[in-house]
Amino acid sequence: MLQRGLKGVIAAETAIAHVDGEKGKLIYRGYEISEITSKYNFEETAYLLWYGKLPTAEQATKLKEQLVHNRTLSDYQMEVLKLLPKDMNMMSVLRTIISAEGNQSYQWPPTIDEAIRLTSITPLIIAFRKRLMENLDIVQPNKHLNHVANYLYMLTGKKPAEAHVNALETYMILTMEHGMNASTFAARVAASTESEIISAITSAIGTMKGPLHGGAPAEVIHLLDEIKADGNTQRVLKEKITRGEKLMGFGHRIYKTVDPRSVALKEKLIAFAGSDEWLDLSIEVEEIGIQLLEELKPGRSLYTNVEFYAAAIMKAIEMDKQLFTPTFTASRMVGWTAHVLEQAENNVIFRPQSAYIGQYNMNI
């Protein structure tokens, strides 16, 4: 039976994560995402996805040291980075520089050390390229900062605010992994041919680059900008709903109830209420938006998704729109590499069939 886009087709078994759209749950290695974001940082969560268990304090420290140690690009990669066309978008830059990472040391099967290396250099590529395009001096990594804080530091050259680090770190933990999505599937397909991890990850990046997948919370930012300029959240939202406009950041094609990532992100942001006007505004817009939707669109069960609060975070940390999907990629690198490692454990090449719908020329 033909299933266009392979929707609903189970193509692999995984112990990495589970997305339960009906119950509104996201589980990493047996742990609900709310527990992860409330107790663990980026490095500890990455360890969980790669190794299948939470780290001891010693193991967490060692992983942080490995990530710090890998915060460097080769001279060749830096040369290529500087020579790439100025109009090349950031996702294409990422794909190219990570491809330039490939050398004889990357072989089948993939290793966790390779996963750590790729996760470590992704923020460097983004930050270095951004600074170069703005004719600013490159900011070298700060070995005393954790993975997320260092990313913000390299983008701006300034020590980031604690509220901003916590908000972005929570977002990056929540977007590390999300089941067999298009880019993860692309990575596993490439890996299933026993190609090295670099090929699998560049396949994933090329897939994430498409607007139907990676996307960006840009439309949510437009909504927040409009509300802030007007000054009346209730009026703006009510007028949009009455006109039949879609409230950007509300609703999700998988989750039929609340998006657990949105809930976890909101809980973290509430702890920093009053620390940033955009974070405060997003909480207000969500509360009023859900109330109005229940009144004016009863039975629709529309709640905020993770992109809603992602937009607030991006506004708060003043991140350029061109960096939204690359930042998403920097977090998803952990999930992609975890899936490549899992694919290698019990590998079978992906080889689906197609249904021929062309003509037959019987005269030949």
Q: Give the domain ranges of the chain.
A: 17-215+332-345, 218-316
Asked whether 239 and 233 are in contact (CB, 8 A), the reply is no
Name the 3-class secondary structure at 319: coil
**What is the pLDDT, as a whole number, of residue 354?**
85
**What is the pLDDT, as a whole number, of residue 273?**
61
**What is the pLDDT, as a whole number, of residue 253?**
60
**What is the pLDDT, as a whole number, of residue 167?**
87
pLDDT at 274 over 80: no
**What is the pLDDT, as a whole number, of residue 362?**
74
The stretch 219-231 carries a mean pLDDT of: 87
**What is the pLDDT, as a whole number, of residue 185?**
94
**Residue 89 identity (one-letter amino acid):** N
Active site amino acids: 252, 307
Average pLDDT, the chain: 89
The stretch 71-97 carries a mean pLDDT of: 96
**What is the pLDDT, as a whole number, of residue 317?**
81
Structure tokens at 167: 């908000």
| Of the candidate ranges 45-54, 57-66, 203-212, 311-320, the one whose mean pLDDT is the lowest | 311-320
Asked whether 110 and 162 are in contact (CB, 8 A), the reply is no
pLDDT at 255 over 60: no
Give the pLDDT band of residue 282 (cuts 50, 70, 90): confident
CATH architecture of 218-316: Orthogonal Bundle (1.10)
- Length of the chain in terms of residues written: 364
Name the 3-class secondary structure at 84: coil
Of 266 and 345, more confident: 345
Per-residue pLDDT tens over the stretch 22-74: 787 899 999 999 899 999 999 999 999 999 999 999 999 999 999 999 999 99
pLDDT > 70 fraction of the chain, expressed in percent and rounded: 93
**What is the pLDDT, as a whole number, of residue 247?**
79
Give the pLDDT band of residue 251 (cuts 50, 70, 90): low
**What is the pLDDT, as a whole number, of residue 135?**
95
pLDDT > 90 fraction of the chain, expressed in percent and rounded: 58
**What is the pLDDT, as a whole number, of residue 127?**
97
Structure tokens at 7: 């929707």
The stretch 264-286 carries a mean pLDDT of: 77
Per-residue pLDDT tens over the stretch 122-168: 999 999 999 999 999 999 999 999 999 999 999 999 999 888 899 89
Of 286 and 117, more confident: 117
Supply the pTM of this predicted model: 0.88
| Cα–Cα dist 226/199, whole Å | 42
| Cα–Cα dist 40/248, whole Å | 30
Counting Cα atoms < 13 Å in the Cβ hemisphere of 329 gives: 35
pLDDT at 216 over 60: no
H-assigned helices in the chain: 33-39, 42-51, 57-69, 75-83, 90-99, 112-133, 147-156, 162-174, 182-192, 197-208, 218-230, 233-242, 260-270, 277-296, 306-316, 324-345
Asked whether 150 and 123 are in contact (CB, 8 A), the reply is yes
| Of the candidate ranges 48-62, 86-100, 204-218, the one whose mean pLDDT is the lowest | 204-218
**Protein fold of 17-215+332-345:** Citrate Synthase; domain 1 (1.10.580)
Give the pLDDT band of residue 222 (cuts 50, 70, 90): confident
Asked whether 312 and 278 are in contact (CB, 8 A), the reply is yes
DSSP state of 257: S
pLDDT at 248 over 80: no
Per-residue pLDDT tens over the stretch 168-179: 999 999 999 998
pLDDT at 1 over 80: no
Asked whether 279 and 167 are in contact (CB, 8 A), the reply is yes
